[in-house]
């Protein structure tokens, strides 16, 4: 096996431009999410209203996912990403206007709240396209032999942007207010659009451009469900994210349990991503190819334990530590999932497979947000979080017992084969 080069993907200029674009987009999106969560809970004081934000995003994201995958596989990826980014900028502009003093003073609380929900709904529609487009674009910018390295750096960039955005969101709310913070999001999105056009247009590798949509979608779903490794890792992450969705109610813990204000809220959010970043960077030096399946199961199990610890904690620094560990464990599972998907997905099917991934994992973020909000309202935030962590542990044990293909998965041979390519 060739000596591992942790910076292999970073030596490609086009991939670096892509990483910068992704950083700007995710930074803006993460900060926007934090600000909107804070604003909605501030004006309603209802944890269920936070869950509804997730529900408003999942409805279009889930229902449009397969269609979006088909569109991605049929079209050029750079320009498609540009269209999505431009549309996202309009949503950011709309949220900025909705949180301005003029609107807040002249509109009713319900009018502002429902308008936010509408924009979040359209954001969910865009999200169904973002995921498969980005996933497909990565594979076009780097050679196959370094897919696993590119997947690690792409996911690390995403998490780095998440921590920066979450931390910045909390502090900017305190420093300049909600509306001005959202104006920064709009500026960042526009900057990402400018940089995006520095990336060259990429070829369309799908040889079945004229394939009927029904057949195209059927082929994508069939491929995922026939691949036990892909199906197993998606199912595991889906359930873990669904029940471990503490992020959606962190504002409740920040305001009503820990009493740490917007700065503490930002730190709580950021601690999750900081843990993820650490482990992701480590995986660039220590690849996850050996005993991949067992590492996946262990990481998700640790994630569940840390979520339970957070739910039971009433001390700020312990809560930070628990969330940091949850992020570290989640970071490993995400790198493994992305690596498996990149290595085992044919080029002409990347959009559709990524869309199924979005339906399984991405959509469960929003559905998990709704579940967490509803559980917090019915059971209280502490019981809701402990319940979610417990369900995650049960899922890991069940997966380990009933899915030996995932449990025994090892990517060493596959990665070595790819590295022999010229």
- Evaluate if residue 422 carries a pLDDT over 50: no
Residue 393: which residues within 8 A CB-CB, separation 6 or more?
301, 304, 305, 308
Question: Residue 3: inside a domain, yes or no?
Answer: no
pLDDT in tens, 145-178: 787 788 888 878 887 887 788 778 878 888 888 8
Question: Do the Cβ atoms of 54 and 373 come closer than 8 Å?
Answer: yes
pLDDT of residue 416: 66
Question: Residue 204: inside a domain, yes or no?
Answer: no
pLDDT of residue 419: 59
pLDDT of residue 415: 66
Question: Do the Cβ atoms of 53 and 33 come closer than 8 Å?
Answer: no
pLDDT of residue 1: 44
What is the average pLDDT across 317-336? Answer: 88
pLDDT bin (cut points 50, 70, 90) of residue 362 is low
Burial category of 205 from C-beta neighbours within 10 Å (exposed 0-12, middle 13-18, buried 19 and up): middle
pLDDT of residue 177: 85
pLDDT of residue 80: 94
pLDDT of residue 363: 60
Compute the distance between CA of residue 147 and CA of residue 91 in angstroms, rounded to an integer: 33
Return the minimum-mean-pLDDT range out of 220-234, 274-288, 376-390.
274-288
Q: Report CA 361 to chain centroid distance, whole Å.
A: 8
For residues 210 and 256, the model is more confident at 256
pLDDT of residue 344: 79
Q: Give the other-Cβ count within 10 Å of 256's Cβ.
A: 15
- Evaluate if residue 2 carries a pLDDT over 70: no
- Evaluate if residue 356 carries a pLDDT over 70: yes
Question: Residue 2: inside a domain, yes or no?
Answer: no
Question: Residue 205: inside a domain, yes or no?
Answer: no
For residues 200 and 46, the model is more confident at 200
pLDDT bin (cut points 50, 70, 90) of residue 365 is low
What is the average pLDDT across 413-421? Answer: 64
Question: Residue 1: inside a domain, yes or no?
Answer: no
For residues 189 and 399, the model is more confident at 189
Question: Do the Cβ atoms of 188 and 317 come closer than 8 Å?
Answer: no
pLDDT in tens, 88-131: 999 999 999 988 888 888 888 888 889 999 999 999 889 889 98
pLDDT of residue 309: 92
What is the average pLDDT across 127-136? Answer: 88
Give the CATH number, domain containing residue 82: 1.20.1250.20
Question: Residue 251: inside a domain, yes or no?
Answer: yes
What is the average pLDDT across 359-379? Answer: 71
Domain limits for position 344: 9-198+212-419
pLDDT in tens, 48-92: 787 788 778 878 877 887 888 888 888 899 999 999 999 999 999
What is the average pLDDT across 264-290? Answer: 77
Question: Residue 189: inside a domain, yes or no?
Answer: yes
Question: Do the Cβ atoms of 83 and 70 come closer than 8 Å?
Answer: no
pLDDT in tens, 172-216: 888 888 888 999 999 999 999 999 999 999 887 766 666 677 787
Question: Residue 306: inside a domain, yes or no?
Answer: yes
Distances (CA, A) of 114 to 30, 110, 118, 119: 21, 6, 6, 9
What is the total count of domains within the chain?
1
């Amino acid at each position: 096996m060739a000596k591992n080069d942790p910076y292999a993907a970073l030596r490609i200029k086009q991939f670096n431009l892509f990483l910068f674009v992704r950083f700007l987009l995710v930074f803006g999106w993460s900060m926007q999410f934090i600000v909107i969560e804070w604003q909605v809970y501030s004006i309603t004081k209802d944890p269920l209203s936070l869950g509804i934000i997730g529900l408003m995003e999942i409805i279009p994201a889930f229902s449009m996912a397969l269609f979006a995958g088909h569109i991605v596989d049929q079209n050029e990826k750079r320009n498609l990403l540009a269209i999505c980014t431009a549309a996202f900028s309009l949503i950011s502009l709309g949220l900025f206007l909705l949180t301005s003093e003029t609107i807040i003073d002249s509109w009713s609380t319900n009018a502002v709240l429902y308008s936010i929900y509408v924009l979040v709904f359209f954001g969910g529609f865009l999200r169904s396209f973002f995921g498969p487009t980005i996933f497909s674009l990565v594979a076009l910018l780097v050679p196959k032999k370094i897919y696993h390295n590119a997947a690690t750096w792409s996911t690390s960039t995403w998490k780095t942007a998440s921590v920066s955005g979450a931390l910045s969101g909390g502090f900017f709310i305190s420093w300049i207010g909600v509306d001005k913070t959202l104006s920064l999001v709009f500026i960042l999105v526009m900057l990402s659009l400018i940089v995006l056009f520095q990336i060259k247009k990429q070829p369309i590798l799908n040889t079945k451009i004229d394939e009927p949509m029904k057949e195209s979608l059927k082929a994508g779903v069939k491929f995922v469900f026939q691949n036990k490794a892909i199906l197993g890792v998606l199912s595991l992450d889906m359930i873990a994210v669904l029940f471990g969705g503490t992020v959606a109610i962190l504002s409740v813990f920040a305001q009503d349990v820990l009493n740490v204000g917007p700065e503490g809220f930002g730190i709580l959010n950021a601690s999750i991503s900081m843990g993820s970043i650490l482990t992701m960077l480590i995986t660039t030096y220590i690849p996850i190819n050996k005993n991949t399946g067992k590492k996946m199961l262990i990481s998700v199990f640790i994630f569940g334990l840390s979520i339970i610890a957070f739910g039971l904690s009433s001390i700020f620094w312990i809560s930070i530590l628990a969330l940091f560990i949850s992020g570290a464990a989640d970071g490993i599972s995400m790198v493994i999932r992305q690596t498996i998907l990149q290595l085992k997905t044919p080029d002409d099917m990347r959009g559709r497979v990524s869309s199924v991934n979005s339906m399984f994992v991405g959509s469960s973020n929003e559905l998990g947000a709704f579940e967490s909000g509803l559980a917090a309202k019915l059971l209280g935030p502490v019981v809701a979080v402990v319940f979610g962590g417990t369900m995650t542990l049960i899922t890991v044990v069940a997966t380990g017992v009933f899915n030996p293909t995932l449990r025994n998965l090892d990517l060493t041979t596959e990665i070595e084969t790819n590295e022999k390519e010229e």
